[in-house]
Chains A and B, each alone.
Chain A
């Protein structure tokens, strides 16, 4: 089989002129990024020295390519290179040189040659309305392509919120019936890397884990790698002490905003959003939304578009119309209840009047009776 003669990742790096020192530095860096202990560096390095390049198919369905944009901006100098070199990106609509028949051939070559071995990366959701005609590539629907490719994949990584939970395409009213990948295919190991887009280092980290250890990383209940999604943005936020102290920004132009207080009351979704923004930050650790004075919008959580508005702490409550929070609905229901109680109390005094009068009269009788007895 051809993969015996495929160069390993280390051999490939040497051919590209990467020095041993740079290679080891990158290995140590990636091990740390994966949240693995320093003792794993050797194991990790050995894996990259002995493993051949992983064939990868990267599909783009209903998406905006922000995941790819994020990925190619991976901050560590070597990582994006190493990933793009170390994997054999056989098919990706936005980056490959081939087009038309050549591109389709490359796709089918990999699918047949490396059946059960290739890694499938999916960016974007898949529309299912009207037979899936809202997203077609090479004359076939996204659904069709997805199902065919997933059948022979070693694992599927769902890039970004579109593939993981539908994101903006699946927001109400979802005219194309955009559907996240996990609802369409089964029987293949799947990793969700949500975010709009996900952090570049989280994306590379997930691939590197698969590459080095040949198994999917530990996942949480929603199928996200625990190394990056086990903590809420809120838990790692540098403004957290302000939250605990009850120091809140009340409007974006107030004194508290200048002081850098907590953005909870401004609708920050940090407390309900699982992501690594507070730790890894963006653009090589430069900043993240909260550091720039804007609340988290919860872009890595399911349905975040429909849980708006972004600048209101409590989302609108479904079924009560626009701009009705649970509290507004609750106050209205409370008022209705109080009116109902008042009406019932009035009604009681009218309709049960006879009954109550009788009872009062009968107790009067007793009193009178006693009095009479006493008198006798």
Chain B
């Protein structure tokens, strides 16, 4: 197998990379502060309440990052319509037959490891794209439930837009319970996501890990959008 001829492809544009790291950072902050809100440490005692405000600060940080997370998420949706083809929304929703075919292939090659045919896709493969679509739904759910809970303690108009979710789910009890449970979705997602990135970089050698820093991936000649047109390379002649 001749794989050594690689060409650079600029896959992740700056806004996509920025979105990714802002999202990753706020998810970490939201999970940590969210967990603390659900199960606070009892580190203070024998003092007067007027001397301390740490739990209030934890909640404040959670709310601030919720706003950052939400608008960052909205920005990514917008970028799905104006960004390059790797960032396009079509990658995330399997509407085309080709995506379903690729999903089967990815499951056979990367999950079950029953097959070694290389996956052609340069950006998100069909399984990855669909998984991100599910995480977007989880983002949406966390935003709805989170701001829904926040609406009751805020005078701002923005969280009030989400107040309807509370009666829909039958009260704060249920909303809080599900908001908390979905935190675990993000923790599990992060575990798998980080592993999969390392796995792809290890097996495919396309520079998967560094691509979210630089934007570049290294793609074999036969799949490279430009190089594949000048197919007859020197090594094919021998």
Would you call A245 and B55 a contact (CB within 8 A)? Answer: yes
B1-13 vs A, CB cutoff 8 Å, 1 = contact: the mask equals 1111000000000
Interface of A, secondary structure class, is helix
A358 to B40, CA, bound (A): 52
Q: How far is the CA of A273 from the CA of B172 in the complex (A)?
A: 7
Query: Given contacts A326-B180, A333-B184, A352-B116, is CB(A246)–CB(B55) below 8 Å?
Result: yes
Report the minimum CB–CB distance from B190 to chain A (whole Å). 10
Interface residue? A348 (CB, 8 A): yes
Closest Cβ of chain A to B50, distance in Å, is 7
Chain A contact residue count (CB 8 A cutoff): 61
Q: How large is the interface on B (under 10, 10 to 19, 20 to 34, 35 or more residues)?
A: 35 or more
- How far apart are the CA atoms of A329 and B46 in the complex, in Å? 34
Within 8 A of B (CB), among A246-299: 246-248, 250, 255-256, 259, 261, 264-265, 269, 271-274, 298
Closest to A224 in B: B167
Contact mask for chain A residues 340-362; partner B; CB cutoff 8 A; 1 contact, 0 none: 01001101100110111011001
Contact B203 A355 (CB under 8 A): yes
Instruction: Please tell me if B56 contacts chain A, counting CB pairs below 8 Å.
Output: yes
Are A348 and B184 in contact (CB-based, < 8 A)?
Answer: no
B54: interface (CB < 8 Å) = yes
Residues of A within 8 A of B183 (CB): 326, 330
Nearest chain B residue, comparing its CB with the CB of A332: B184
Q: Which residues of A contact B2 (CB under 8 A)?
A: 362
- Would you list which residues of chain B between 1 and 43 have a CB under 8 Å from chain A? 1-4, 38-43
Q: Does A138 count as interface, using CB distance less than 8 angstroms? A: no
B156 within 8 A of A: no
Cβ contact within 8 Å between B199 and A247: no
A246 touches B40 (CB 8 A): yes
Instruction: Report A191-215 CB contacts with B as 1/0, cut-off 8 Å.
Output: 0000000000000000000000000
User: A274 — which chain B residues lie within 8 A by C-beta?
Assistant: 152, 172
Assess whether B49 is in contact with A344, with CB atoms less than 8 Å apart.
no
Contact digits for B36-72, partner A, Cβ 8 Å, 1 yes 0 no: 0011111111110111111110110000000000000
Pair A362/B3 contact, Cβ less than 8 Å: yes
Which B residues touch A303, using CB under 8 A? 170-171, 173-174
Pick the residue among B4, B41, B152, B167 that contacts A363 (CB under 8 A).
B4
Give the complex CA separation of A359 and B177 in angstroms. 49
Q: Please give, as numbers and ranges, the residues of chain B lying within 8 Å of A344 by CB-CB distance.
A: 111, 195, 199
Contact A246 to B170, CB < 8 A, known contacts A330-B184, A344-B195, A347-B113: no
Check A304 against B203 for contact (C-beta < 8 Å): no
- Shortest A240–chain B CB gap in Å is 9
Q: B166 near A: Cβ within 8 Å?
A: yes
8 nearest interchain CB pairs? A330-B184, A221-B167, A246-B55, A244-B56, A272-B172, A241-B49, A245-B52, A326-B181
Interface of A toward B, CB cutoff 8 Å = 165, 220-222, 231-232, 235, 241-248, 250, 255-256, 259, 261, 264-265, 269, 271-274, 298, 301-304, 307, 313-315, 317, 326-327, 329-330, 333-334, 337-338, 341, 344-345, 347-348, 351-352, 354-356, 358-359, 362-363, 365-366
Residues of B within 8 A of A (CB): 1-4, 38-47, 49-56, 58-59, 111, 113, 116, 152-153, 163-164, 166-167, 170-174, 176-177, 180-181, 183-184, 187-188, 191-192, 195, 199, 202-203, 205
